[in-house]
Structure 1
């Protein structure tokens, strides 16, 4: 039996190797994602500007409303010129996040910051890919021009998140301990929460998890007996079911 060996021409092989590992979205998909992301930035930031407790977060939210509002308007203009449709409503995932911010009974600072971290990571990835390999010259230029601002926003929110994590909002020594954990944006890391519980006289601290109210909850022992423990954003430690 004879065997045939097929060789790929060198030009074809070169083209195959030149293909990007991750292709950019097509023009309409880019517009859809950019518009929905931009709407979320403005809508979520309006909620945060009115309800956030941290002034730094309020200032960031104000900046997002201004910058993303301008970018959204520019995207709509370019998309219209290119005969592309611009979404006027958000998708289910972003609607869910907005509802979460609107309905939270605790501080929304932490969930807003986390949402912004994810939103800007997604936006930078989207715009970076389209600026490099986009299929529409006008939108490609828009992506390239907008990308530095998105990266600046990303750096801003990462700094805010880092500052919150390194400076937990501990109550003053003169403040009476409340009867139960106080809901609020808890900036204690898991390691910090564990140490604070240990400093309160507990051992074998385990299974720590932060609930929807920003309260760290877990298990520990004291005087040889097991108990549930909780730590709120003020640094108060509680034992038993709270």
Structure 2
């Protein structure tokens, strides 16, 4: 079953001045349970494609379906609700709320979803244990290492039970040990819980773990390699 499908997606910045063609007709399908890396040189369109799939940016042309819903046709308010419930994000810069504890950061989206306190607490404890941080739940981001903050970000992304996780350069600010730990967690969640992950990355360590590698060059898919499971 497809969780993401794009058809003829184009993105042009500054169309009325000096146009920059970030994406040039991208046709892509991601199925449930994939562990996919989108790679390519700087300026190839990786982050733009992730942002458009995630509804954080609008295509100039084309169609994006997420779980069978054409998100290009949603109003801004409906798109916000859709992202909140269906798409999890992990960013390079962690983007944790500094005044909240790790527990509160993970709970935050569920609070916006109006879930009960009991459900929020149970889900948070489950996820913090899954990412190996059950003993750090009451620490603020400033009291955590970069690797620990990114693991909290993964738990936060998973909290609303999204259809998939979009991870934009999630290991860029991490050392080798933290990167290995984070990728081990993500690979286990993918394998055991069938969570779909789509990465935008330059990191060879992420690329080596991916079971599908999509290469973008000048906003177009140059190659699409599906690897056999180890």
Query: Do Structure 1 and Structure 2 share a fold, with TM-score over 0.5?
Result: no
Structure with greater strand share of residues: 2
Which of structures 1 and 2 has the bigger CA Rg? 1
TM-score under structure 1 length normalisation? 0.21
Higher relative contact order at CA 8 Å, sep ≥6: structure 1 or structure 2?
Answer: 2
